Structure 1
C-alpha cells in the first residue's frame, strides 16, 4: 500500500491556488482593478479636458476650474522644466477634473517614464 498526498499539497492544487484570482493574462484581481481605475480615470480626464476647451463656463468657479484643467493639460505636452514630474501633474489634473486616480507611486508603476522614452532608453 502506498502513501497518497492530501489534495491540498498536490501539484495540481498548488497550481490552482496560484492561479486563483488571476485574469487571462496572469494579473491578480487587485492589479486588474488598479489598471482599470487608471484607464477609466484617463478617459474621464480626456473628457474633462475636452469639456474645458469646448464648453465655456458660466460662473467664476467654472472658469477657474476650466483654466486650471487647460493649464495642467498644457504642461503634459509642454513641460516647464527638464525634470518635470508628469505623475504629479497628472494627479493634479485629475483632482481639478474631479477624477479619482491612484497615487503617484501607483502611476509610476504602471506608466513608463516619459523622459526615458523621449531619449530612446
Structure 2
C-alpha cells in the first residue's frame, strides 16, 4: 500500500510539473509577443509624429507665404523659411522610419516630390 501512495504522489507531482512547464511556456510566449507589439506601437507612433511634423512644416510655410503675399511684410517670411529649412530633414527621417514598409516609403517619396 505505501508503494501505491508513493506512486500516486509521483504521478501527481509529474502532472503538476508538466502543467507548470506548459503555463510558463505560454506566459513566456505571451510576454514576448506583447513586447513585440509594444515595439510596433512605438514605431507607429514615431512615424505618425514625423508625418505630423511634415504637416506642421508645410502649414507654417503656407501661412508665412500667405501672410507675406497679403501684407508684403518681410517678417511673415520667417515661418516660410523655417518650414522650408526643416522639411527636407523631416521627410528624410520619415523615409528612414518607414524602411520596413515599401508602400509607406513610396508615399513619402511622392510627398517629397510634391513638396
TM-score (norm 1): 0.48
The correspondence for 1:30, drawn from 39, 47, 58, is 39
How many residues of Structure 1 are paired with residues of Structure 2 in the alignment?
86
Q: Secondary structure at the match of 2:100?
A: helix
The correspondence for 1:94, drawn from 90, 104, 111, is 90
Q: Which protein, 1 or 2, shows the higher relative CO under an 8 Å CA cutoff with sep ≥ 6?
A: 1
Matches within 5 A, 1:1-121: 1=8, 2=11, 3=14, 4-5=16-17, 7=20, 9-10=21-22, 12-20=23-31, 22=33, 27-56=36-65, 58=75, 62-68=79-85, 92-94=88-90, 101=93, 104=96, 106-112=97-103, 113-114=105-106
The structure with the largest alpha-carbon Rg is: 2
The separation in 1 between residues aligned to 2:99 and 2:31, in whole angstroms, is: 27
Q: After the TM superposition, which of the residue ranges 56-65 and 41-50 deviates more from structure 2? A: 56-65
1:36 Cα deviation (Å)?
Answer: 0.7
The separation in 2 between residues aligned to 1:46 and 1:62, in whole angstroms, is: 13
Query: CA RMSD of the aligned region, Å?
Result: 3.8
Gaps of 5+ in 2: 1-7, 66-73, 108-115
1:28 Cα deviation (Å)?
Answer: 2.1
The separation in 2 between residues aligned to 1:18 and 1:103, in whole angstroms, is: 32
Contact 1:41 1:94 in 2 (8 A): yes
The structure with more helix, counted as a fraction of residues: 2
TM-score (norm 2): 0.50
